[in-house]
Amino acid sequence: MLEIRNVLPADEIRLIVFDLDGTLIDSKKDLATSVNAMLTQLGRQALPEEIIATYIGDGAGMLVRRALGDPDGEALVEDGLRRFLDYYREHKLDHTYVYDGVFSALEALKTMPDGTPRRMAVLTNKPVNPAIAICEALGLSPYFFQIYGGNSFTTKKPDPEGLRTLIAEAGVKPEETLMVGDSDVDILTARRSGAWAMGCRFGLSSHTLESIPSDCLVDAAEEWAEALKQTIAPR
């Protein structure tokens, strides 16, 4: 159920930036399969899919590091990351799908209440090439003027560099921007950028959302547009 903590100014939000994994798409099975392929190649025991899901959200490097038990040796992490990415590039679309309601929600959000086009983008910690390929294959790309990944900048979320870049490219203000994501990383990114924040409780990392207050929480993509129906003066 939609939970409004701070009413979003629908007539002021000119840019919406979405996380990818756990927000637009359910990629848990393909990520878990790729992690376990890497672990098997390294002679390690496979992990349950639900455990791997809790490691997602901070980029491929951290996913691999966590799956390996946070080893001291960087060489092992680098080797594991290479193996993971090699496998994931070939299997990233085996089971990954767009969450129910996403396309209809994007259609509803692409224009503001007065009919003015609203810009939308993707900012993910997933490497940018797989992110772009997935968005293109699943029909998401036409909705976004930009797709940035975890290696598009020198930093990753929750550093605000990526979101601030999108804000500048869209020609809007931070208070005219909404970040939508399923983890505390996304909420913190919004807070550090001065943007509004919406948390998705249906996502892969939703267990982290309560650690940083968001402006609203949703249980389904259909609620994105509903959260923007009310209007108040901007902060």
* Res. 235 pLDDT band, cuts 50 70 90: very low
pLDDT for 204 equals: 87
33-60 per-position pLDDT tens digit: 999 999 999 999 999 999 998 898 888 9
Do residues 225 and 3 make contact, with C-beta atoms less than 8 angstroms apart? no
By the 10 Å C-beta count (0-12 exposed, 13-18 middle, 19+ buried), 141 is classed as: middle
3-27 per-position pLDDT tens digit: 999 999 999 999 999 999 999 999 9
* Res. 234 pLDDT band, cuts 50 70 90: very low
* Res. 233 pLDDT band, cuts 50 70 90: very low
pLDDT for 202 equals: 94
Q: Please list the alpha-helical segments (H only) found in the chain.
A: 28-41, 49-53, 60-67, 74-91, 102-109, 128-137, 161-170, 184-193, 223-227
- From the list 11, 19, 86, 100, the catalytic residue is 19
pLDDT for 168 equals: 98
Mode of pairing for the β-strands spanning 177-181 and 15-18: parallel
pTM > 0.95: yes or no: no
| pLDDT over threshold 80, residue 173 | yes
Question: How far is residue 29's CA from residue 38's CA, in Å, rounded to a whole number?
Answer: 14
Catalytic, 19? Answer yes
pLDDT for 230 equals: 56
| pLDDT over threshold 50, residue 232 | no
Average pLDDT, the chain: 94
Mode of pairing for the β-strands spanning 177-181 and 196-200: parallel
| pLDDT over threshold 90, residue 177 | yes
204-221 per-position pLDDT tens digit: 888 889 889 999 999 999
54-105 per-position pLDDT tens digit: 898 888 999 999 999 999 889 999 999 999 999 999 999 999 999 999 999 9
